[in-house]
């Protein structure tokens, strides 16, 4: 029944190869987040707002009691398991990325986040070092496909939904959208697919084509059935020549970039970021003091109004979300943010601000879900 739910005209589900056994998504432990229980999404997300003059206040977080929207999230490469593919046991790293990237969407939607046997950080580091490793991306995708089918059969009931993925998670969802959603009946109640921190191909200057044939890039906050995607780089450190993000080898397509804070106009727009107080959740240096001589920040997250802006650029460096940090040495607030990927003490320029892709505009993404939900209900 799970796969049969998604078997509709034109759907091209990836077949299960011999030896593949799907996880049991009836089991509670196969999900990091599900509605109505105490889990990785039921956490304290109160946030300290730090103004430029150093004044601080606390923004209380309140999950929605009965939201009319579902959010289905696939997390990025975070597993520290020593095997090429992870197991189905949630460790600290899976819970931390939920806190950084997804739990806050509980303000506007019911939260669903399956475990899946992802390609691990262990495998990624081996591959980056040029060492062959038997990581299995097919198993990772099939797990996500099975979890989504389970959600559709047991939970969705025709409700509007949002797909959210980052990095490896966005790659999994790109395949899912192309195989299961693109041009199909269930695209009708998809508010958007937020495929962030991964190169999604689009034809130059066109909203649709490339990765998808019927799902366009979002061009306004009240458009639904569309996708959001970008890869983040500091505006003064754009993608290098051999960058892994922001460039594609096929000259007929480019990397999609949709500015979630200004979908229609794409000005250099203030971004409403939620940043982890101690720094990005993995592979980053620690954050310094947020306010010089100020009181200690006691929440796990901060907001820094006016400090960060973003704009989609398409230039000789690639197609990317250019992030500018407007620090002022004359005020007591920090003048910079952390989130660059660091390995052996060196910043990896080809990764950009990958660790902050979602956090850098998280409030804008949440507000977008609100606007899309309102448009859907009209």
- In angstroms, what CA-CA distances link 350 with 303, 318, 337, 353? 26, 12, 18, 9
The SS3 of residue 138 is helix
> What confidence tier does 133 reach under pLDDT thresholds 50, 70, 90?
confident
Are 336 and 237 in contact, with CB atoms under 8 Å apart? no
Q: How many whole angstroms separate alpha carbon 34 and alpha carbon 270? A: 32
Does position 345 have pLDDT exceeding 90, yes or no? no
């047991």: which residue's tokens?
154
Kind of pairing, strands 31-33 and 275-276? unpaired
Considering only residues 278 and 171, tell me which one the structure prediction assigns the higher pLDDT: 171
> What confidence tier does 131 reach under pLDDT thresholds 50, 70, 90?
confident
> What confidence tier does 19 reach under pLDDT thresholds 50, 70, 90?
confident
Tally of CA atoms within 13 A in the half-sphere of 101 that contains its CB: 37
Does position 4 have pLDDT exceeding 80, yes or no? no
Nearest-5° angle of CA 195, CA 109, CA 104?
Answer: 70
Q: What residues does 341 pair with on adjacent strands?
A: none
The SS3 of residue 251 is coil
Q: What does the pLDDT look like over 226-245, one tens digit per residue?
A: 999 999 999 999 999 999 99
Mean pLDDT of 29-48: 97
pLDDT at 11: 61
- In angstroms, what CA-CA distances link 364 with 4, 202, 263, 326, 374? 36, 23, 11, 18, 15
pLDDT at 93: 95
Sign of CA dihedral 72, 77, 82, 85: positive
> Within 10 A of 122 (CB to CB), how many other CB atoms are there?
19
Q: Which of 171, 245, 183, 187 is nearest to 209 (CA)?
A: 183
Does position 78 have pLDDT exceeding 60, yes or no? yes
Are 168 and 144 in contact, with CB atoms under 8 Å apart? no
The SS3 of residue 339 is coil
> What confidence tier does 1 reach under pLDDT thresholds 50, 70, 90?
very low
> What confidence tier does 129 reach under pLDDT thresholds 50, 70, 90?
confident
The dihedrals phi and psi of 250, each to the nearest 5 degrees, come to: -85, 115
Q: How many whole angstroms separate alpha carbon 240 and alpha carbon 199? A: 15
> Virtual CA dihedral for 340, 341, 346, 352, nearest 10 degrees?
-60
The SS3 of residue 343 is strand
Tokens of 318: 């690639």
Q: How many whole angstroms separate alpha carbon 73 and alpha carbon 98? A: 9
Q: What residues does 202 pair with on adjacent strands?
A: 254
Listed in sequence order, the DSSP H helices in the chain are 2-6, 92-101, 121-128, 137-151, 168-176, 362-377
Does position 146 have pLDDT exceeding 80, yes or no? yes
The SS3 of residue 168 is helix
**Residue 346: CB partners within 8 Å, gap ≥ 6?**
none
Q: How many whole angstroms separate alpha carbon 24 and alpha carbon 147? A: 9
Does position 71 have pLDDT exceeding 80, yes or no? yes
Largest CA distance in the chain: 64
Kind of pairing, strands 226-228 and 254-255? unpaired
Percent of residues, the chain, with pLDDT higher than 70:
97
Listed in sequence order, the DSSP H helices in 7-136 are 92-101, 121-128
Q: What does the pLDDT look like over 350-362, one tens digit per residue?
A: 999 999 999 999 9
pLDDT-wise least confident of 180-189, 229-238, 282-291: 282-291
Tokens of 150: 């389970």
Chain length of the chain: 378
Burial, 258: exposed, middle or buried (Cβ in 10 Å; 0-12, 13-18, 19+)? buried
pLDDT at 9: 43
């Amino acid at each position: 029944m799970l796969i049969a739910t998604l078997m509709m005209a034109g759907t091209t589900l990836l077949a299960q190869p011999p030896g593949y056994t799907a996880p049991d998504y009836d089991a509670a432990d196969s999900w990091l987040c599900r509605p109505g229980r105490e889990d990785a999404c039921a956490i304290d997300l109160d946030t300290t707002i730090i103004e430029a003059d150093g004044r601080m206040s606390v923004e209380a977080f309140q999950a929605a009691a009965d939201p009319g929207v579902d959010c289905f999230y696939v997390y990025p490469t975070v597993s520290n398991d020593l095997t090429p593919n992870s197991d189905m046991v949630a460790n600290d790293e899976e819970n931390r990325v939920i806190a950084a990237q997804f739990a806050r969407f509980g303000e506007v939607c019911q939260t669903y986040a399956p475990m899946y046997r992802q390609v691990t950080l262990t495998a990624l580091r081996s591959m980056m070092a040029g060492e062959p490793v038997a990581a299995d991306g097919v198993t990772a995708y099939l797990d996500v496909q099975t979890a989504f089918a389970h959600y559709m059969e047991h939970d969705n009931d025709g409700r509007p939904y949002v797909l959210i993925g980052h990095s490896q998670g966005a790659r999994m969802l790109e395949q899912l959208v192309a195989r299961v959603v693109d041009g199909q009946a269930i695209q009708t109640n998809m508010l958007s697919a937020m495929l962030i921190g991964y190169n999604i191909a689009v034809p130059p200057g066109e909203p649709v084509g490339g990765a998808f044939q019927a799902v366009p890039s979002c061009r306004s906050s009240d458009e639904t059935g569309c996708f959001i995607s970008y890869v983040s780089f500091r505006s003064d450190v754009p993608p290098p020549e051999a960058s892994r993000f922001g460039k594609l080898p096929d000259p007929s397509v480019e990397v999609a970039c949709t500015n979630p804070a200004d979908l229609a106009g794409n000005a250099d727009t203030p971004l409403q970021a939620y940043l982890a107080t101690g720094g990005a959740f993995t592979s980053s240096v620690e954050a310094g003091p947020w306010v010089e001589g100020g009181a200690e920040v006691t929440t796990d997250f901060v907001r820094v109004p006016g400090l960060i802006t973003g704009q989609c650029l398409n230039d000789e460096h690639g197609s990317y979300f250019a992030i500018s940090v407007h620090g002022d040495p004359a005020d007591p607030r920090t003048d910079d943010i952390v989130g660059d990927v660091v390995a052996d003490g060196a910043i990896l320029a080809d990764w950009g601000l990958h660790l902050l892709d979602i956090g850098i505009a998280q409030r804008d993404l949440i507000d977008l879900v609100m606007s899309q939900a309102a448009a859907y209900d009209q």
